[in-house]
Amino acid sequence: MNERTAPAPDLLLDVRDLHTEFATSNGIVRAVDGVSWDVRAGETVALVGESGCGKSVSALSIMGLISKPAGRITGGQILFKGSDLLKRSEEEMRKIRGREIAMVFQEPMTSLNPVLTVGRQITEACEIHLGHTPEQAHARAVEVLGLVGIADAERRLKQYPHQFSGGMRQRLMIAIALSCEPALILADEPTTALDVTIQAQILDLMKDLSRRLGVATLIITHNLGVVARYADRVNVMYAGKIVERGTAREIYASPRHPYTLGLLRSVPRLDEPKRERLAPIQGQPPDLTRLPPGCSFRPRCGYAVERCAEEVPPLERVAGTQHSACWEKDKLPVRAAKPEKVPA
């Protein structure tokens, strides 16, 4: 079952009111605009949203990988095991990256070093972070390849990334991420570049490893099906803000933000009889340099009222652990209802 009954105090990562900005030729982009969320030990949390909503920048902010000087974190705290990562020096961050918090990226080919053997890319991390001798590191490399289901480890370790298929490379990325036994893995669209049967394999693997090894996972994705299958808790982002949060079950059963509702209605489902028409969200994703006043989703929202143009709705509790940032959150239709007529 998806609900977790773990008590609240075991917060592993606690992001509070994070602001990350980029200076562009068109003005300041508030990619992450006052966002708070957390991850408890061992659980899987999802950040969901479309391109430019700030989900990847959130992960890069945690890792201290925002490219300066264009980008900077202008406010907030990132508490990892209780201490603020934003107060750490670059030197200290280097000890945390890969050791305490590891990352798995979307495109494994661009995140692996093409001129180093696969083995070296795993052992290097173990030697630097864990102080392993080359022999210990090699043994660890063999072990983690086994964990991620890559057979014939001794031979594979001598190969180069180009000799691996897409799915195998992503397994390799996970092996590297796991090699130093991190407490948290940030997975940014880990399966988007993969075929659907391989996607299922990789996600099942990540879920299984997270259960067995107690590693918490933050999964960043745009795929609502992936979230439904793998995440315990969900944060939906739009234009740099969290617009809805809750357990996966809460949010999918009864979305309380028009954006979440719109997303769920705009994807065809394999298990439902064919709908005559999808109900797409109208309009274009927002230009972050020219956000409208009030709620950023208002121009595309079918439920907007006058107030939405004036005041930014705060993220407030609806029921249970579910929160929504919408002035009309109590008036939204329930999801089971038939979608309204779609304007032509």
Partner 1 sequence: MSTAEMVAGEAPRTAPAGDVILEVRNLVKHFQVGGGFLGGPPQVVKAVDDVSFTIRRGETLGLVGESGCGKTTTGRCILLLERPTSGQVIFEGRDLMTLSPAEVRRVRRKIQVIFQDPYSSLNPRITIGQMLDEPLAVHGIVPERKARQDRVRELLTVVGLLPSMASRYPHELSGGQRQRVGIARALAMEPSLIVCDEPVSALDVSIQAQIITLLEDLQERFNLTYLFVAHDLSVVRHISDRVAVMYLGKMAEITDRTTLYAEPLHPYTKALLSAVPIPDPEVEAERQRTVLGGEVPSALRPPPGCVFHPRCPIAIDECKRVVPECLEIRPGHRAACIRAPGYPAGAANA
Binding site for partner 1 (CB under 8 A): 1-2, 50-51, 165-168, 195-201, 203-204, 222-230, 248-249, 252-253, 262-264, 266-271, 274-275, 277-282, 284-285, 300, 342, 344
The CB-of-46 to partner 1 minimum distance in angstroms stands at 11
Task: Name which of 45 and 102 has its Cβ closer to partner 1.
Answer: 45
Q: At closest approach, how far in Å is the CB of 200 from partner 1?
A: 4
How far apart CA 21 and CA 32 sit, in angstroms, is 7
**Shortest distance in whole angstroms from residue 230 CB to partner 1:** 8
| Least Å from the CB of residue 3 to partner 1 | 10
In whole angstroms, how far apart are CA 136 and each of 19, 179, 308?
Answer: 41, 12, 59
**Residue 185 to residue 231: CA distance in whole angstroms:** 13
Beta pairing partners, 218: 45, 186
- Are 153 and 146 in contact by the 8 Å Cβ rule? The answer is yes
Decide whether 80 or 238 has the Cβ nearer to partner 1: 238
User: Which residue lies nearer to partner 1 by CB, 89 or 197?
Assistant: 197
Length of the chain: 344
* Alpha carbon distance, N-terminus to C-terminus of the chain: 41
Q: Which C-beta is closer to partner 1: that of 114 or that of 268?
A: 268
CA distance 48 to 218: 11
Residue 134, CA distances (Å) to 49, 125, 137, 159 in order? 42, 11, 5, 17
Q: What SS3 state is found at 140?
A: helix
Contacts of 337 (CB under 8 A, 6+ apart): none
CB of 148 to partner 1, least distance (A): 14
DSSP string, 152-184: SHHHHHTS-GGGS-HHHHHHHHHHHHHHT--SE
Residue 93 C-beta-side C-alpha neighbours within 13 Å = 16
Name the minimum Å distance from CB 187 to partner 1.
15
Of 96 and 231, nearer to partner 1 (C-beta) is: 231
Q: How far is the CB of 93 from partner 1 (least distance, A)?
A: 32
Q: Please name the amino acid found at residue 187.
A: A
Tell me whether residue 238 or residue 327 sits nearer to partner 1 (CB atom). 238
User: Which of 1/8 has CB closer to partner 1?
Assistant: 1
